[in-house]
Amino acid sequence: MPIDYTKRPKQPPATAPAPPSSGPIVLTKAAPAVSLAKTSGGTLRVNLNWNAKPDKPRGFFQKSEPGLDLDLGCLYEFTDGSKGVVQALGNSFAALDRTTRATVIRLDGDDRSGAVSGGENLLIDLAHVERINRILVFALIYEGAANWAAADGVATLHPAAGPPVTIRLDDPRDGARICAIAMLESRGGALQVRREIRYINGGQRALDEAYNWGMRWTAGRK
């Protein structure tokens, strides 16, 4: 049965402690949330890196396993009620504020190998943070076996101000092709980040249903 995101318990989530000096904040099950420093501008960069693992022969008469191709993306909902998805699939690389036509979220490219040092990045323009209701960041295994342990994925949020925030794609569940990584919500001009790490059988439609996003989906390809 899909989970109604609006019916979460009202208790405030545990918040990650402030890191020493400029070290990263690591979100865990015990401390799953952090509030980013309030800012009126700059960019929040959400980076995904993983281990694609080169093809390995399985035997003389067997084909080698294909490398893992992970896609970074997000579902978004703005305060005016508009919603959508930013992802490489279907070439949906940007989300625009339909009032100002400004680009609020964009994906910088599609790394099909996992070998690019910069990985894949979602860029969120913090000048428009008050237009954001919620953003659900996800990773999808587009190609290769649904083996999250082998992928060893890690998402890192780089705020305009303050230390980076790291979320490991741990606690893997093989067979699930999509993982909800983090929920970002705008509160008083700041972004609240909550670790999700929820593996879901199916694709973007199943993710939508699990979080009650309420969009219509059609098949797409890169």
Residue 114 has pLDDT above 80, yes or no: no
Looking at the structure of the chain, the number of domains it has is 1
**Mean pLDDT within 117-131:** 88
**Residue 215, in any domain of the structure:** no
**Residue 38, in any domain of the structure:** yes
How far apart, in whole angstroms, are the C-alpha atoms of residue 62 and residue 147? 19
**Residue 75, in any domain of the structure:** yes
8 A C-beta contact, residue 80 and residue 34? no
How far apart, in whole angstroms, are the C-alpha atoms of residue 79 and residue 160? 22
Which burial class, exposed, middle or buried, applies to 27 when counting CB atoms under 10 A from its CB (0-12, 13-18, 19+)?
buried
The residue among 198, 137, 180, 187 whose CA lies nearest residue 36 is: 187
- Domain of 124: which CATH number? 2.60.60.30
Dump pLDDT digits (tens) for 2-48: 433 334 344 445 555 545 446 789 999 999 999 998 887 899 999 99
**Residue 15, in any domain of the structure:** no
Q: Which domain holds residue 179?
A: 24-57+64-210
**Residue 200, in any domain of the structure:** yes
Residue bearing tokens 């705020």: 159
Residue 131 has pLDDT above 80, yes or no: yes
Dump pLDDT digits (tens) for 160-205: 989 999 999 988 777 899 999 999 999 888 899 999 999 999 889 9
How far apart, in whole angstroms, are the C-alpha atoms of residue 107 and residue 122? 5
Dump pLDDT digits (tens) for 152-167: 899 999 999 899 999 9
**Residue 9, in any domain of the structure:** no
**Residue 48, in any domain of the structure:** yes
8 A C-beta contact, residue 34 and residue 15? yes
pLDDT at 98: 86
pLDDT at 86: 96
**Residue 87, in any domain of the structure:** yes
Mean pLDDT of the chain: 82
